[in-house]
A = this chain, B = another copy of it.
Amino acid sequence: MNMTRRAIILRQRPVGPPRPEDFELITETLPPLKEGQVLTRTIWLSLDPYMRGRLSDAKSYAAPVPIGGVITGETVGEVIASEDANFAPGDVVVGPNGWADYIVSEARNLVKLDRHGPPLSTYLGVLGMPGTTAYSGMTDIGQPKPGETVVISAAAGAVGSVAGQIAKRAGARVVGIAGGAEKCLYVQETLGFDDCIDHRVVDLRSALEQACPNGIDVYFENVGGDVQAAVFPMLNPFARMVMCGMVAEYNDTKPRPGPNLMPVVRKRLRIQGLIVTDKPERFAEWRALAKPWVMDGSLRYREDVVDGLENAPQALIGLLSGRNFGKLLVRVGPDPA
Contacts and interface: CB of A to CB of B under 8 A. Distances in A.
A268 B273 contact: yes
A246 B273 contact: no
A85 interface: no
Interface in A105-162: none
Q: Interface centre among A246, A256, A271, by most B CB within 10 Å?
A: A271
Given A268-B274, A268-B278, A260 B257 contact: yes
B269 A262 contact: no
A311 to B, nearest CB: 28
A265 B272 CA distance: 7
Interface stretch (A64-72, A171-179, A237-245, A328-336): A237-245
Contacts of A264: 243, 271-273
Contacts of A255: 260, 262
A60 B266 CA distance: 6
A278 B221 CA distance: 26
A251 interface: no
Interface residues of A, number: 34
A246 B268 contact: no
A261 interface: yes
A273 B261 CA distance: 9
A278 B269 CA distance: 13
A267 interface: yes
A275 to B, nearest CB: 6
A271 B266 contact: no
A88 B275 CA distance: 58
A332 to B, nearest CB: 29
A18 interface: no
Q: Interface centre among A224, A269, A270, by most B CB within 10 Å?
A: A270
Nearest to A257: B257
Contacts of A245: 265
A228 B273 contact: no
B261 A268 contact: no
A261 B243 contact: yes
Contact of A268 (B263, B267, B275): B275
Interface string A247-262: 0010000011111111
Contacts of A278: 268
Contacts of A249: 260, 262
A63 to B, nearest CB: 13
A262 B58 CA distance: 12
A260 B261 contact: no
Interface of A: 53, 60-61, 221, 224, 228, 237, 243-246, 249, 255-275, 278
Given A255-B262, A270-B270, 13 more contacts: A53-B266, A60-B266, A61-B237, A61-B268, A221-B261, A224-B262, A228-B261, A256-B260, A258-B258, A263-B273, A265-B274, A265-B275, A266-B273
